[in-house]
Amino acid sequence: MSPPTPLRILLAPMEGLLDHSLRDTLTRVGGVDRCVSEFIRITDQLLPERVFTRVVPELRHGSRTAAGTPVRPQLLGSDPACLAENAARLAGLRPAGIDLNFGCPAPTVNRHRGGAVLLDEPELVHAIVAAVRRAVPPAIPVSAKMRLGHRDTARMLDGARAIADAGADELVVHARTKLDGYRPPAYWERIAEIRRAVAIPVVANGEVWGVDDARRCLAASGCDAIMLGRGMVADPGLALALRGAAAPGWNELLPLLAHFWQRIAGHVAPRHRAGRLKQWLNLLRRRFPPAQLAFDRVRETNDPAAVERLLFGTPSAAPWQAGAATCRT
């Protein structure tokens, strides 16, 4: 009897939230096998290399985070030829693979024929994947992420087969349609249908907030790989917990909050920095009660100096840190 296949854990792309600063921070915790970047929009021009490295600065460091976790840049668009040309240029930066976005539900993206709306056109999906696959060296993996469909699941299997038959090496499936958005539940059992229909590895994604969710997702989908998004942002120790390892409590996460704050100071405009930190705290408070106290302290300010003072700079920050060791259960 062969041994069980080890669980693979991927960190999801999340536009406007999970950028390179948060990727760097979360992968320092451990347990993640690979990250996918937020999408790089491809329209009608060949982008300069600096656009790719701005979104995915890890490309300057072997396509890995500081913790050594590979990062796969993601492209989004609808023109096969233009996507192929940009993928070829991106391949010159030696990425840890190239991912294609057929899952974004954002109305502005969909109106410009990007993301999940393309699932209504499996023939175009096939053409995009095939063009990108031909354009990059065989050693560079090409993967894709899709939803169960645009407005319904009628063409779900057509879309999945289009991706697989065009030469993709892996498929991530977010178990909701575009119309479902991010409303629970996620229909993990539909991923099992896709898995049976294609001959490439399939990764399950959607509505996994904790270990129990992940176990039910893997059982329903039949997958041996899972992509974590908001659940990992809300609980940075989730990947470790899924592996049966000790996950950090709140006290262990405090240095990561400070690290993240320092990281965003390097590339986020001052007026937006507090918002980025509050965005993360807003998710962390689902799991950690002290995060609510921290969120409340900075709720009314967007002044970086005030955030420094209230959370990181003086002993007055202590109340939201006190007793934190008991808060992870």
Task: For residue 296, count other CB atoms closer than 10 A to its CB.
Answer: 12
Q: Does CATH place domain 8-242 in 3.20.20.70?
A: yes
Q: Report which secondary-structure segment, H or E, holds 299.
A: none
pLDDT (tens digit, 9 = 90+) per residue, 45-100? 999 999 999 999 999 999 999 999 999 999 999 999 999 999 999 999 999 999 99
Q: Which of 39, 100, 32, 38 is nearest to 70 (CA)?
A: 32
pLDDT at 110: 82
Helical residues (DSSP H) of 49-102, grouped into ranges: 49-55, 80-91
Write out pLDDT tens, residues 112-126: 788 999 999 999 999
Q: What is the pLDDT of residues 154-186, one digit of tens each?
A: 999 999 999 999 999 999 999 999 999 999 999
**Side-chain-facing half-sphere of 247: CA atoms under 13 Å:** 22
Domain ranges of the chain: 8-242, 250-326
pLDDT at 134: 98
Which residues are 203's β-sheet partners?
172
- In the chain, pLDDT over 70 holds for what percent of residues? 94
Report the distance separating Cα 22 and Cα 28, nearest Å.
10
List 104, 217, 223, 327, catalytic entry:
104
Token couple for 14: 């999340």
Q: How confident is the model at residue 313 (pLDDT cuts 50, 70, 90)?
A: confident
Whether residue 217 lies in the annotated active site: no
Mean pLDDT of 288-295: 96
pLDDT tens digits, one per residue of 173-227 = 999 999 999 999 999 999 999 999 999 999 999 999 999 999 999 999 999 999 9
pLDDT of residue 314: 55
